[in-house]
Chains A and B, each alone.
Chain A
């Protein structure tokens, strides 16, 4: 799941000057810390900037000569290619030297074609308007992680911008992520520059797409730019439109310093690198700054722009976007959306800072119980660069010591698991993802549940009410699949909010769905019933009252905490039956009969048995040659290590993984 959720590719970049270095570091590229390594080395070995004296004079760019914008698009509508072209056009990168997805540094980003960490680049552009002298502009292209899991970060990135290029594929037209991204940008009061891309395709139908943009977003069809980022057709109109239509940053240069922290990453040598947008005032190297939300103060050790590598400038002025290095140790101190100001001044914090909200929780356990320390270490390193994961130790009777991790959403969780395994080589068992529920008891107490095991199966007081989080889902699909999708949504307890035709062939559906229902396989299911033609996106919505029950799984009468799940009462029987069936297939025969049961409280709702193993004996040790037999027993011993033991029942790791797939 996951790879096709709203996601975006990052900017590509070429870095000719550092190619030797990057080759020598290639073997390390799986290590996310190498991101920092490249940039640290890239910075100091770049001949243009090797002297301590900054060579770029930012004072030449007052606010009116600055434009801050981002590119937003549905996946594969050409966002990365357009970004590449714009950087080539401005000489920020050299043409033909870009490596595909070069800046998608994490293996998971390259594999999934998505951006988890945003990238940003500063470009210099000479704008020539007819009959006037050319004038130099500083353009900041601020990339955003595309996925809705990171929507909070997206909106922070967008709030560093005054405008956005809304890129739409000329053949595919408006898709679900186009809609979601449009509204994010619209809510941030950004000027939208609509761009229809890939107009060179034979199936391109720009007129139809223009009509969609008009009907969906009320965008003026005359304002739409028609380009092909691939062939370069129409590209020359893009940056002039950015300069003409997008307003300069509105900050006040003689006000006290206020900066928005919109991203951060960890660098092994420099510590945390913060990406900032200067709203008011100016910042110079050596300044002492404070962070409003975290309350911490630091000295600015380095300041500069991303061009596209970290390039020291010694200062940042009003409206400019760049990075600061403060010697901060962990990204946990760099809260996205925080306001940075000069220490000992008083400023009004910038609006919009929110603590991270975790929507999906899952237990993460070492596959081999003895690897707890290794897992702990890997999680620590990973969260060093991704402060948005919440981590708390927990213990399961079935799985031993592990962690309960909270994620922004499904993709976020998936990416985290994948990075743990790929980058740290940690084999993990993750438990069924759960969403945060609220239960109220007859004595008036309320219980927040992030782990189904923590919900008492037979509580002292009666549950009087329960609530679950919901999402507002946007689905755009060809009209012939509408019936099937409506069935799917109602099966997932969805409430239809909107059903409109975008044009003759495409339908726009809006549903309120319980988050739990889309946690596991909703998108896979949607893709399969629409032959891949539907696009899907969602945003958080409020909690709703719901009749929720806990389904326990018992093996020979003993509840397995890691397999417990919370479901809507209507679905409990179906889920219980599915879980029992799955387990029966994945648990091997044991030395005695194993009874598998699903239960709500003390009521059994599904059951099955695995009959006992009858025989496993090696009859003969011929001529005293026991070596082969012993090898077999050793192998069997190793096999048992790959099992988790609950009571006397051995459960293979695969069973836990498969159970995850039961909705």
Chain B
């Protein structure tokens, strides 16, 4: 499909990050034809150039946890549980050198990130992820935010999210964080059953969950999300329905539902095999996903992304940056940034990360990665990320960027799945285009199917459930 000719074109563009010149590999004639000079100059609206501008989002990794959960393979630093401590909320004390040293490093990393974009827009979203960011003393969070503001600027109405775990904060701490500007809380509840929380090595019980919800409410956090995990070991459909019911009763305006991913090297990875007891079978697991979709949508949530549900306007703005393939900064251990079309992951080990920050300061390391931006990668990123959302893939934009032939190929490979109902086709007005009409379009000489089918999206829940299969099919035609 796309492999007729590969001719590199060199684009230099305004607002490029320091010391980088990107070579774009156009991957077929169609691209070359469509990318006329005028189209290229008009780059701001094109998907292929979207990532070239300066980021307005930042991810900040705060890796501290009391202990590692059994399913977790993220870069974290376990502080150890202090069951002897009379006040659990005092864990992560201001003077814990492990935390202060890390935040010091983080601040140095942010400062060493010197961009040379022509325009330097303020940050519009900041996301504190972890780890358990709520373990970090507010004073240190404040230091990070100040540094970000100094270095990049921060809009007054920026969305500042923080992941918080029950049992790691109280009302006072939350209030302090809110005073610093944190205005969105992502509460890691995961389950409403003590036995399940214990089985997955969570450092809190159900009572702390209720307490935490209480703190969030009494502090008046309007924008908050609850995380739940499905397909945990020993989890039954009854338990899952109970968790969903109790989640809905707590009235968060955002819910994230994650299907347990058994990762190699984790405790679960060593103990369990996906689909085998005590983990639910593939069929049960699919049932959990469907139940979440129907219960949450029934309660008025919009299923706007594979694992995200929101009420009203409360989609996570920061995550939307990801799904739209827009650029973002990232700071901290193991964090991944996307700037200038390059994805770059920082070292996952503290020692190497420390060296990296030092290198950054003395100019020996690059803060956004190096390499060549391959248009095929951009195209597959867009396909993969767009299909995660309920909006789906905008074929018009995609066709403008990568050529109408690719659009036609995608439609062709999806024909059977439109018919089976895994893929939904929508027109400009987001009205459904029926499968026989799509078949006719694919079979016809129609050059631009995107004039008739504007969006493709995965059906909720059947299409979402098989998103890997469906997306990899599209990969097969976009980047064979």
B and A form one assembly:
yes
Q: How far is B328's CA from A100's CA once the two chains are assembled, in angstroms? A: 66
Q: Which residue of A lies closest to B321 (CB)?
A: A624
Q: How far is B322's CA from A629's CA once the two chains are assembled, in angstroms? A: 13
**Cβ B468 vs Cβ A633 within 8 A:** yes
Is residue B422 within 8 Å, beta carbon to beta carbon, of the partner chain?
A: yes
- Answer whether A615 and B286 are a contact pair too, CB < 8 Å, given A633-B472, A637-B472, A641-B476: yes
User: Which residues from B are CB-within-8-Å of A641?
Assistant: 476
Partner of B285, one of A614, A620, A621: A614
**Cβ A619 vs Cβ B322 within 8 A:** no
Is residue B224 within 8 Å, beta carbon to beta carbon, of the partner chain?
A: no
Is residue A630 within 8 Å, beta carbon to beta carbon, of the partner chain?
A: yes
Q: How far is B282's CA from A641's CA once the two chains are assembled, in angstroms? A: 25
User: 8 Å CB contacts to B: which residues of A122-154?
Assistant: none
Partner of A617, one of B59, B338, B385, B464: B464
User: Which residues from B are CB-within-8-Å of A619?
Assistant: 257-261, 306-307
Is residue A454 within 8 Å, beta carbon to beta carbon, of the partner chain?
A: no
User: Which residues from A are CB-within-8-Å of B417?
Assistant: 591, 648
**Cβ A616 vs Cβ B420 within 8 A:** no
Q: How far is B388's CA from A560's CA once the two chains are assembled, in angstroms? A: 34
- Answer whether A616 and B343 are a contact pair too, CB < 8 Å, given A633-B384, A641-B476: no
CB distance from A501 to the nearest CB of B (A): 59
User: Which residues from A are CB-within-8-Å of B127?
Assistant: 623
Binary interface profile of B, 240-280, with partner A (CB < 8 Å = 1, else 0)?
00000000000000000111110000000000000000000
User: Which residues from A are CB-within-8-Å of B469?
Assistant: 591, 613, 616, 636
**Cβ A625 vs Cβ B345 within 8 A:** yes
User: Which residues from A are CB-within-8-Å of B338?
Assistant: 624
Q: How far is B470's CA from A619's CA once the two chains are assembled, in angstroms? A: 15
Is residue A634 within 8 Å, beta carbon to beta carbon, of the partner chain?
A: yes
Is residue B117 within 8 Å, beta carbon to beta carbon, of the partner chain?
A: no
Q: How far is B466's CA from A636's CA once the two chains are assembled, in angstroms? A: 12
Partner of A630, one of B257, B282, B380: B380
- Answer whether A591 and B420 are a contact pair too, CB < 8 Å, given A618-B468, A627-B343: yes
Is residue B373 within 8 Å, beta carbon to beta carbon, of the partner chain?
A: no
**Cβ B388 vs Cβ A624 within 8 A:** no
**Cβ B465 vs Cβ A617 within 8 A:** yes
- Answer whether A647 and B322 are a contact pair too, CB < 8 Å, given A614-B286, A615-B466: no
Binary interface profile of B, 296-320, with partner A (CB < 8 Å = 1, else 0)?
0000000000110000000000010
User: 8 Å CB contacts to B: which residues of A618-652?
Assistant: 618-627, 629-630, 632-634, 636-637, 639-641, 647-648
Is residue A269 within 8 Å, beta carbon to beta carbon, of the partner chain?
A: no
**Cβ B385 vs Cβ A626 within 8 A:** yes
Is residue B74 within 8 Å, beta carbon to beta carbon, of the partner chain?
A: yes
Binary interface profile of A, 373-409, with partner B (CB < 8 Å = 1, else 0)?
0000000000000000000000000000000000000
Q: Which residue of A lies closest to B380 (CB)?
A: A630
Partner of A623, one of B259, B330, B380, B471: B330
User: Which residues from B are CB-within-8-Å of A616?
Assistant: 465-469
CB distance from A638 to the nearest CB of B (A): 9
Is residue B457 within 8 Å, beta carbon to beta carbon, of the partner chain?
A: no
Q: Which residue of B lies closest to A622 (CB)?
A: B74
Is residue B475 within 8 Å, beta carbon to beta carbon, of the partner chain?
A: yes
Q: Which residue of A lies closest to B57 (CB)?
A: A624
- Answer whether A626 and B322 are a contact pair too, CB < 8 Å, given A616-B465, A633-B468: yes
Is residue B129 within 8 Å, beta carbon to beta carbon, of the partner chain?
A: yes
Is residue B70 within 8 Å, beta carbon to beta carbon, of the partner chain?
A: no
Is residue A592 within 8 Å, beta carbon to beta carbon, of the partner chain?
A: yes
Q: How far is B66's CA from A507's CA once the two chains are assembled, in angstroms? A: 80
Q: Which residue of B lies closest to A556 (CB)?
A: B416
User: Which residues from B are CB-within-8-Å of A622?
Assistant: 74, 129
Is residue B61 within 8 Å, beta carbon to beta carbon, of the partner chain?
A: yes
Q: How far is B74's CA from A640's CA once the two chains are assembled, in angstroms? A: 30
Q: How far is B468's CA from A119's CA once the two chains are assembled, in angstroms? A: 57
Q: How far is B217's CA from A402's CA once the two chains are assembled, in angstroms? A: 69
User: Which residues from A are CB-within-8-Å of B321?
Assistant: 624
Q: Which residue of B lies closest to A649 (CB)?
A: B416
**Cβ A633 vs Cβ B471 within 8 A:** yes
Q: How far is B385's CA from A629's CA once the two chains are assembled, in angstroms? A: 11
**Cβ B465 vs Cβ A640 within 8 A:** no
**Cβ A591 vs Cβ B422 within 8 A:** yes
**Cβ A640 vs Cβ B328 within 8 A:** no
**Cβ B322 vs Cβ A621 within 8 A:** yes
**Cβ A591 vs Cβ B466 within 8 A:** yes
Q: How far is B338's CA from A629's CA once the two chains are assembled, in angstroms? A: 15
CB distance from B127 to the nearest CB of A (A): 8
Partner of B381, one of A591, A625, A626: A626
Q: How far is B479's CA from A641's CA once the two chains are assembled, in angstroms? A: 12
Q: Which residue of A lies closest to B467 (CB)?
A: A617
CB distance from B328 to the nearest CB of A (A): 6
User: Which residues from A are CB-within-8-Å of B259?
Assistant: 615, 617, 619
**Cβ B467 vs Cβ A618 within 8 A:** yes
User: Which residues from B are CB-within-8-Å of A640?
Assistant: 472-473, 476
CB distance from B403 to the nearest CB of A (A): 19
Binary interface profile of B, 110-149, with partner A (CB < 8 Å = 1, else 0)?
0000000000000000010100000000000000000000
Q: How far is B60's CA from A624's CA once the two chains are assembled, in angstroms? A: 11
Q: How far is B308's CA from A621's CA once the two chains are assembled, in angstroms? A: 11
**Cβ B322 vs Cβ A620 within 8 A:** no
Partner of B282, one of A615, A618, A627: A615
Is residue B289 within 8 Å, beta carbon to beta carbon, of the partner chain?
A: yes
CB distance from B396 to the nearest CB of A (A): 24
**Cβ B285 vs Cβ A615 within 8 A:** yes
Binary interface profile of B, 373-405, with partner A (CB < 8 Å = 1, else 0)?
000000011001100100000000000000000
User: Which residues from A are CB-within-8-Å of B319?
Assistant: 624
CB distance from A585 to the nearest CB of B (A): 18
CB distance from A643 to the nearest CB of B (A): 10
Q: How far is B465's CA from A634's CA once the two chains are assembled, in angstroms? A: 18
User: Which residues from B are CB-within-8-Å of A637?
Assistant: 472-473, 475-476, 479
Is residue B190 within 8 Å, beta carbon to beta carbon, of the partner chain?
A: no
User: Which residues from A are CB-within-8-Å of B307?
Assistant: 619-620
- Answer whether A632 and B468 are a contact pair too, CB < 8 Å, given A620-B258, A626-B322, A627-B336: yes
Partner of B330, one of A615, A624, A634, A639: A624
Binary interface profile of B, 409-443, with partner A (CB < 8 Å = 1, else 0)?
00000001100101000000000000000000000
Q: Which residue of A lies closest to B377 (CB)?
A: A630
Is residue B225 within 8 Å, beta carbon to beta carbon, of the partner chain?
A: no
Q: How far is B404's CA from A69's CA once the two chains are assembled, in angstroms? A: 72
User: 8 Å CB contacts to B: which residues of A350-374?
Assistant: none
Partner of B261, one of A618, A625, A627: A618
Q: How far is B478's CA from A634's CA once the two chains are assembled, in angstroms? A: 11
Q: How far is B476's CA from A641's CA once the two chains are assembled, in angstroms? A: 8
User: 8 Å CB contacts to B: which residues of A425-464?
Assistant: none
User: Which residues from A are CB-within-8-Å of B74?
Assistant: 622
CB distance from A320 to the nearest CB of B (A): 58
Which among B127, B319, B465 has the highest number of chain A CB atoms within 10 Å? B465
CB distance from B371 to the nearest CB of A (A): 13
Q: Which residue of A lies closest to B259 (CB)?
A: A619
**Cβ A620 vs Cβ B261 within 8 A:** yes
User: 8 Å CB contacts to B: which residues of A577-629?
Assistant: 591-592, 613-627, 629
**Cβ B466 vs Cβ A617 within 8 A:** yes
CB distance from B19 to the nearest CB of A (A): 23
User: Which residues from A are CB-within-8-Å of B335?
Assistant: 623, 625
**Cβ B420 vs Cβ A614 within 8 A:** no
User: Which residues from B are CB-within-8-Å of A621?
Assistant: 322, 385, 388
- Residues in chain B within 8 A of chain A (CB atoms): 59, 61, 74, 127, 129, 257-261, 282-283, 285-286, 289, 306-307, 319, 321-322, 328, 330, 335-336, 338, 343, 345, 380-381, 384-385, 388, 416-417, 420, 422, 464-473, 475-476, 479
For the complex of A and B, 6 pairs with smallest distance between CB atoms: A625-B336, A648-B416, A636-B472, A614-B286, A619-B259, A637-B475
6 CB < 8 A contacts A-B: A591-B422, A616-B468, A619-B259, A626-B322, A627-B336, A636-B472
User: Other CB < 8 Å A-B pairs besides A623-B59, A633-B384, A637-B479, 4 of them?
Assistant: A615-B465, A616-B467, A623-B330, A624-B322
